[in-house]
Amino acid sequence: MRGFVFTLDVLIGVCLLLAALFMMPSLTFTLPTQRYEHLSTVAEDVLNVLSVLSAVESNLPTVQKLRGTLSDVELNKSMLDLIASLWYAGNQSLAQNLSKEALEPYPHCFNLTIDGELIYQSCPYAGQSIATASRLETGYEVGKPVFGYVARAWLLSIENKTTQRVIDFNPQGSSYQRGRAFEVTKYFELPQNISILNGTFYVSLHYGSSQAAAEFISLLVNRVQLKAKVNWLYLKQLPGLPIYGTAAFGVLDVTQYLRPGENEVEVVIGTPELYHSHLHPGMRIVTTYKTNQTEWQYNESFRQRLYFDDVIGIRGVWNVFPFFIPPGATNVSAVLHLKAEGIENRLPQYVEGEWHEDVEVYLNSDDPIFVDPTPLPNPEYTLNLTPYLQNGTNVLSVFMNCYGDVAWGSDRNRIYSNPFNEPELSSYVELSYQLKALPTLGYLQVDLTREVLYNSEPSNPKQASFNTSRPVIQSFNHLATGFSSMVELKARGEEWVEVYESANVREVPTTIYISPQVFTIGKNYVWVRDFQPTGSTSLYNEILPWSSIEYTILVPAAVGYGDVFANRTQAIEDAVQRLLTLLQSYGIEFDPGQVQIQDKTVGGIRWLWGPSLFKLSAWERQ
């Protein structure tokens, strides 16, 4: 019995085994990698066909419809080119139809994209295995000529460019006698054909104590009295010593009183009981105006006559007169013409440890370059300053019947200047030099001048900063102080650089030239300290927040070739618009209708779209 059971088991097992063996050969399968390879080949081949088969050869229904609309050249584009051209030209439905007709004959599902945008997908579902082929293509835009125009443009002039100019008043004086006023008259010219947008007058002076006749007496701008309009921002007296007068800094709006061309400002200041009245550093007019800006003209030879202000002092007269020579200047020369009135021939005076004569001229040193111990009453001097010049800031100091805070004249003295009516008889410095090259000056650029106030609180020393996105080509520091003695100024772009240090007492120029090479693109700093002749930092002298940094930058006034257009006019319009956008980005305000622009077009430029990445994905139909 057990034997039969055993035999039956064997037979069942054998049957199962045979069944398995018979089944085995019929179990065929396809490896997933083989399927993917096949799909990959299909995708590659179809994409290749689309890129080499011309639209006209394909003779698809959509292409037939486009005959007559598109040129022969356009119909001879490859299928892929035409699809992309239609797509980028905004004819997306045509591009989709063309794709559909091109891909329909094949027994696979496809998905065609261009730079990630879906053009056409033949099946609404995705396959288990999807192969993708890609191709980078470029071509001419449909509906436009194969060759078009590009244009560039640059400025010839802006009729309404906004810019600034700073008119400095040198520290000068004085009236040493109580109750008697001293007078300063400044003559300056603004460009013709400008529209003055703003005029801010910063008044910085040392006036008398609280006696009606001894205070700030008069401020005439083009003969209009504006004394009452001054808004005093800073008034300071020495602690417990009001008789020494007041260091005063104020501001007033003179916009409506300035005019293009010749201008005249007259200041009359009363005298302290025990000191002298004078102008302090920081007195200036900042004008903002619209002007015609011609293409940057660069001259190798530079010659300029810088006039003194006409100053009438009591018991002595002086002027601290800065001027500037840019680094790299060659053949530099300067001549001082000095004409004075009412100068007295007196004995030498012992002041601050040294004997001083009636007329002394200093330049960049505490040793005078010229003295006249026996001046005529109305002397006239012509001095060659050339041997004493230095690059950067030069400070010329003229003292007559006075030195520092001491005066020994008895009456009215005058440094004469009236450049509008008697230019040759006026006092002036005539400066000339040559510049072979200024690397920062670029062609097709517009210069823009900006003034940035120090801000914050009065202090000594004081630091300020400004940011620039363009290289600085010219820069000045306009110093505004209360009481002052001597100053040093450092500037920092990459690193701190010593810019200026007073060589002589009272040598605190309102304007100090800072070599633009000091500054870099980004954040820049200046640092100023007022110090005593001993070198110690002054206790009561303060640098005021209305000091400023004036810097000039050049901004591009040209744009290069842009997109391709069907005709010259469109190309020029595009270039002009790009130029205007560029100028506006630098804050140059102007009326586009008043911009004179030169343009240049180039024809025969191939009109391309792309390069764009096509991707064709293929998968099996369900």
Closest CB to other proteins among residues 62, 538: 62
Closest CB to other proteins among residues 17, 539: 17
Closest CA to 90 of 50, 63, 67, 117: 117
Closest CB to other proteins among residues 25, 239: 25
Beta-carbon contacts of 190 under 8 Å, excluding residues fewer than 6 positions away, are 165, 196, 258, 259, 260, 261, 263, 287, 289
Q: Which residues bind other proteins (CB under 8 A)?
A: 3, 6-7, 10-11, 13-14, 17-18, 21-22, 24-25, 34, 37, 41-42, 45-46, 48-49, 51-54, 57, 105-106
Concatenating the DSSP letter of every residue in 30-68 gives --HHHHHHHHHHHHHHHHHHHHHSBHHHHT-HHHHHHBT
CA terminus-to-terminus distance, the chain:
58
Cβ of residue 15: shortest distance to other proteins, in angstroms?
9
Cβ of residue 1: shortest distance to other proteins, in angstroms?
11
Q: Which residue has the tokens 């609404």?
A: 124
Cβ of residue 21: shortest distance to other proteins, in angstroms?
4
Tokens of 176: 């040493």
The H or E element spanning position 3 is helix 2-26
Q: Is 179 left (phi over 0), alpha (psi -120 to 50) or beta?
A: left
Cβ of residue 19: shortest distance to other proteins, in angstroms?
11
Closest CB to other proteins among residues 34, 455: 34
Residue 85 burial (C-beta neighbours within 10 Å; 0-12, 13-18, 19+): buried
How are the residues of the chain apportioned to helix, strand and coil, as percentages rounded to the nearest 5?
A: 20, 45, 35
Cβ of residue 31: shortest distance to other proteins, in angstroms?
9
Cβ of residue 51: shortest distance to other proteins, in angstroms?
7
- Helix then strand count (H, E) for the chain reads 8, 39
Closest CB to other proteins among residues 14, 126: 14
Closest CB to other proteins among residues 105, 239: 105
Closest CB to other proteins among residues 46, 415: 46
Closest CB to other proteins among residues 30, 330: 30
Q: Is 328 left (phi over 0), alpha (psi -120 to 50) or beta?
A: left
Angle between helices 79-88 and 92-103 (to 10 degrees): 160
> Is the link from the previous residue into 174 a cis peptide, with omega within 30 of 0?
yes
Tokens of 82: 């035409």
Q: Which residue has the tokens 């037939």?
A: 64
Beta bridge partners of residue 253, listed in sequence order: 200
Cβ of residue 560: shortest distance to other proteins, in angstroms?
35
596 vs 585: CA distance, rounded Å: 18
Closest CB to other proteins among residues 109, 247: 109
Closest CB to other proteins among residues 23, 228: 23
Cβ of residue 13: shortest distance to other proteins, in angstroms?
8
Closest CB to other proteins among residues 341, 620: 620
554 vs 563: CA distance, rounded Å: 26
233 vs 595: CA distance, rounded Å: 40
Beta bridge partners of residue 314, listed in sequence order: 175, 412
Closest CB to other proteins among residues 51, 463: 51
109 vs 46: CA distance, rounded Å: 12
